[in-house]
Structure 1
Amino acid sequence: MTTTTYQTPILPDLTVPVVMGYFRSLNAGDCPQTAQYFAPYGELHPPFQGGIVGVEAIEAYLEAEAQSLTCFPEQATVQTAGDGCQLVQVRGHVKTPHFSVPVAWTFNLNSQSQIERVEIRLLASPEQLLELQQFG
């Protein structure tokens, strides 16, 4: 058994282990572990792209696109349904070597605490988005 300790900024009152693990492993650049938090049919919906479906496809996407990101979750709300499914909404920002941008993540978790879907939305103003184009 391998134990990995991640030293990354995580929202202290975020008490949903799979979402905490998602941010910790993503911030550590551990894309295989991040992808394992998804259900086999899980979906990742990054900004400006269609959905990436399935653990292997999500891992490949993260390896290609998310290596230099650091996520800073700042506030979260959790809603739990009677069947154990959860909706977790997180606001914060993402920092890259070139810029920082406000972001919202919406996690849909199944009753087995796997990510069925996460949608990532940029909360930047149109002016901020135009400035980011130069880094794209």
Structure 2
Amino acid sequence: MTTQLQTAPQTMFAQGQIEGIDQPVIGAYFDALNDENYDALVELFSEAGVLQPPFDDPLIGRQAIAHYLKAEALGMRAYPAKGALLETTEAGDRTYQIRGRVQLPLFSVNVAWQFRLNPEDEILAVTVDLLATLEELIQYRR
């Protein structure tokens, strides 16, 4: 009889492992992304949440975001390193910026993520910016 080992989901980032960030929903985002648990990840967004990936149009709504991640993010691992709160609006929305690296199957690249959260700690928007030179990106195409 074969026993299948089950491992608990990684919760490294949700436990506060991003320097300067104490926002559990941001940690949960990275944990779900790295676990390829895109259904859990999109539940962190508000109903009309937006994901702005590099080089693509914005994805609006949980269903569109989940579809995109299931097609484009398999095998990707995010390594956020440090971040900061950039702004708090009068309405209570907060904007955070996090910097780190993303490991893709063929290469890794420095990345900046910008998260906008509402007062209920739902993700309103995530913008992902690659921090690579044009020469570096061209090299990856070869």
2: CA distance, partners of 1:13 / 1:123: 20
The 5 Å alignment of 1:39-78 reads 39-78=46-85
Amino acid corresponding to residue 131 of structure 2 in structure 1: L
**Under a length normalisation based on structure 2, what TM-score does the superposition of the two structures give?**
0.85
2:25 to 18, 23, 29: 18
Pairwise CA RMSD of aligned residues?
1.6
The runs of 4+ residues in structure 1 deviating greater than 6 Å are none
Contact 2:30 2:78 in 1 (8 A): yes
What stretches of structure 1 of length at least 5 have no aligned partner? none
1:107 to 110, 115, 131: 115
**Under a length normalisation based on structure 1, what TM-score does the superposition of the two structures give?**
0.89
Contact 1:95 1:101 in 2 (8 A): yes
2:10 to 6, 10, 26: 6
Per-residue CA shift, 1:20-67, capped at 9, x if unaligned?
Answer: 000011001100011111110000000000100100110111111111
> Residues 59 and 12 (structure 1 numbering): CA distance in 2 closer, same or farther, change over 3 Å?
same
Q: Percent identity?
A: 34
Amino acid corresponding to residue 9 of structure 2 in structure 1: T
State the match for 2:40 in structure 1.
33
1: CA distance, partners of 2:41 / 2:140: 26
> Residues 42 and 85 (structure 1 numbering): CA distance in 2 closer, same or farther, change over 3 Å?
same
State the match for 1:98 in structure 2.
106
2: CA distance, partners of 1:70 / 1:8: 13
